[in-house]
Amino acid sequence: MNMELNKNRMPQHIAIIMDGNGRWAMKQGLDRTEGHKAGVQTVKRITAECSKLGVKYLTLYTFSTENWNRPTYEVEALMKIVTTFDDDKLFTDNNVRLRLVGDYSRLSEAVQSKLKYMESLTKNFDGLTVVVAMSYSSRQELAKATKQIAQEVKEGKLNIDDIGEQTISDHLWTNFMPDPDLLIRTGGEVRVSNYLLWQIAYSELYFCDTYWPDFKEEDLHKAIASYQSRQRRYGLTEAQVEE
C-alpha cells in the first residue's frame, strides 16, 4: 500500500525507539541476537525511505545505558552487529550523513573506530542525517549538561541570570539538530524509556505493536500519516493555531 502523504507537512526530524527485536526472534524460536541482526536490515530500509521522503533527521535509539545490564553475550553480540552498519552504498547512494550521540567512552575501541570512520566518511553529505544514539541516556545527558553549565558559571564564562531553555539545549549531545517532530516506538510498549526527554517536550508520539524487524516502509507511512492528521498547538488553543 502506497499511502498518500502530504509532502508539505513531512516531519523534518523523526526519532525511533526500535523495540521488539528480541521478542521477534523468540517468537520464531531463534536466539534473541538474531532479532538484532534482522533489525539492522530494517534500519537500512527505513533510512533509505526517510531519505526518499525528504526527512532531514532520523534519530535511532540503538543502545541505552540500561542495556549494559543485559546478559554479556547479548551485549557483545549487539556491539558486533553495530559494526556491520557500515554499508557505504546506503550512505553514498542516498546522500546520508551519520552522526553519533551518547557516552562513547564505554564502547570498545573497535566499535568507536567503526562509527567514527562512518561519521568522518559522510560528514559532507547534506541529505538525511542519521543520528545513532548509542550508550545513550537522556538523564545522563541532562546531568552532563548541568555540570557543564555549572562549570561555565564557576569560571565566569556564563552569567547565572542568562541561563534559559536554549542554554540547556545548547549543552546537550543533540545540540546540532532540531527537536523531533515525531517519535515512533515499535514493539507494543507505551513508554519513552529515558529517550530524548528534554527534546520530545512537544513531539507527536506514535506507538505500534509491530516488532522492529517487521517494521516496513508502509508502517513508516502510517506513522507519518498519523502525524500529519494532528494539529500541533504548542500550548495554544485550536482557534489560535488556525488564525
67 labelled catalytic: yes
How far is the CA of 43 from the CAs of 16, 48, 62, in angstroms?
Answer: 10, 9, 10
Extract the C-alpha cell encoding 157. 564564562
Least Cα distance to 66 among 182, 211, 201, 195 occurs for 195
Residue 95 falls in the annotated catalytic set: no
Name the catalytic one among 19, 179, 181, 219: 19
φ, ψ at 183 (rounded to 5°): -110, 125
Cα–Cα distance measured from residue 205 to residue 196, given in angstroms and rounded to the nearest whole number: 12
User: Looking at residue 179, what DSSP letter applies?
Assistant: P
Neighbour-count burial for 201-211, b at 16+ CB within 10 Å, e otherwise: eebbebbbebb
Question: Which residue is catalytic, options 2, 21, 67, 86?
Answer: 67
Q: Which residues are catalytic?
A: 19, 67
